[in-house]
Amino acid sequence: MIHRMLRYPEKWEWHVLQLERPPMETAEELPKRKDNRKKDETSKASMTFTTPPVSDENVEEQMACKRLLPECANWLDDCWGKEENQISVVHSAHQGTVVSGTLMLQASEQMTDVQPFHFWLSEEKLVTLHTDLRLMIRLQDNTVTSRLTECASAPEALFIMLGQLLGPFHEGLDGFEKRLGELEQSMRISNRTGLLDVIFERRYDLLHWSHLFIPIRELYGAAQEAFMDKLTDTDVFKRTTYKLDRIESLLKHYALEIDTLISMDDALSNFRGNDIMKTLTIFTVIFTPATVIGALWGTNFNPLPWDDHQLGFIGMCAAILFITILIYLWLWQKGWTGDLLTGRDSNKKKQPRILMLEEQATASSEPAPELSRQSRKRRSKTI
């Protein structure tokens, strides 16, 4: 364990606890082929890990941390080895209001790379427990260290760190927006049946980012509850408020876009189903006379009308054709055929013609400037 204590000019302290974490072994391997992803329940988003066993070294490190920071003993017991979100606010007579817990943050661009960020916060002291060096290295940036020296209290410093740790969150949302735009473009060009699976994949991606954002909002509200106006009046808190509002508006906008895509796909599927049923109904009605007359003509009754006549078969076919045409004209007059029998090509040919007619109509409605000038000249001459 590595312990560093940083004291700043405004008389608040930052205690950094760095633990050595053993490499994590996956319980199940990811499928190598894309087709196997549908068969197996595991995927990149549902990757499970085995927690390392508790050893004597871990117990010794925990006891050493408790000796260094006795006021954080209960917090160390709660957060040691924890990899889930938890935020708590405690009011004590000796240390005032304390906000502590664990945040699961995105450490890189990979969605499965989520690491815990343990913190203990009071008005004059901030303690962070790190199990991943990448989060600690990100907090050692020059811009962060210079801003920490200007902080008046430890809660301000925590919000500066939180803004720095949200960097991969913004990058992930930018990548998600790009993939969502590609999905919308492909759905607009060719709405094939496989796009529904892609839409649901984007929905699961959005749920992942929403689950990471909810604990950050909880920490924001907990700090606001604990430190009241001492924190809310600072510029750091206001900037964090604007940043969280911006992220929340993006998440709501993306959710609305995905809901729109799902509703559009549902509407197109319903339209295609109704189109197919209407086509089958029209074909069934049109060929009903031929079916009925053919069934009656094929019976074993004797004698049948026009059975022995020389033109009986031709007359029967003519009667079937005449009745079929009458039924079709009746359906067409009622407007039940719609655009099923016109075809898509004819509609595409009609669209340029309609556009040309509209352009001609707009051109004819606007007066020509030369004619107006000529009319003015003639009026001036007559006057």
The sheet with strand 125-130 has its strands ordered as 2-7, 13-18, 125-130, 114-121, 96-106, 86-92
For residue 249, give Cα distances in angstroms to 49, 55, 244, 245, 255. 33, 45, 9, 6, 10
The pairing of beta strand 125-130 with beta strand 13-18 = parallel
pLDDT at 266: 83
| Ordered DSSP codes for 213-278 | HHHHHHHHHHHHHHHTHHHHTSHHHHHHHHHHHHHHHHHHHHHHHHHHHHHHHHHHHHHHHHHHHH
**Residue 11 falls in which region: left (phi positive, over 0), alpha (psi -120 to 50) or beta:** left
Q: Give the DSSP H/E element, type plus range, for residue 105.
A: strand 96-106
Whether the CB-CB separation of 77 and 69 falls below 8 Å is answered with no
Type of residue found at 91: H
Structure token digits, residue 361: 């109509």
- Per-residue pLDDT 10s for the chain (383 aa) are 788 888 998 889 999 988 765 444 443 444 444 444 444 444 444 433 334 444 556 677 778 778 888 888 888 888 888 889 999 999 887 888 999 999 999 888 788 889 999 999 999 999 999 888 888 888 888 888 899 998 999 999 999 999 898 888 888 889 899 999 988 888 888 777 678 888 889 999 999 999 999 999 999 999 999 998 889 999 999 999 999 999 999 999 999 999 998 888 888 888 878 878 888 888 888 888 888 877 777 766 667 666 677 777 788 788 888 888 888 888 888 777 765 555 555 445 545 554 554 555 555 545 444 444 444 444 444 43
Q: Find, among 186, 338, 347, 349, the residue nearest to 276 by Cα.
A: 338
Residue 224 contacts residue 232 (beta carbons within 8 Å) = yes
Return the amino acid letter for 238: K
Q: What is the pLDDT of residue 205?
A: 92
Cβ distance 47 to 26 under 8 Å? Answer: yes
Nearest CA among 38, 55, 101 for reference residue 75: 101
Q: List phi, psi (to 5°) of 117.
A: -125, 105
| Cβ-contact 161, 136 below 8 angstroms | no
- pLDDT at position 88 is 92
pLDDT, position 72: 87
DSSP state of 318: H
Spatial distance between the Cα atoms of 237 and 156, rounded to a whole number of angstroms: 7
Helical ranges in 298-367 per DSSP H: 312-334, 344-365
Q: For residue 169, with 0-12 CB atoms within 10 Å meaning exposed, 13-18 middle and 19 or more buried, which class applies?
A: middle
CB 89 within 8 A of CB 120: no
For 28, 150, 152, the CA distances from 8, given in Å and listed in that order, are 46, 8, 9
- Per-residue pLDDT, 21: 56
Per the document, the length of the chain is: 383
Q: Per the structure block, which two tokens stand in for 87?
A: 């935020």
C-alpha distance from residue 320 to each of 301, 327, 336, 374 (Å)? 20, 11, 21, 68
The tokens describing 379, both together, are 């009026």
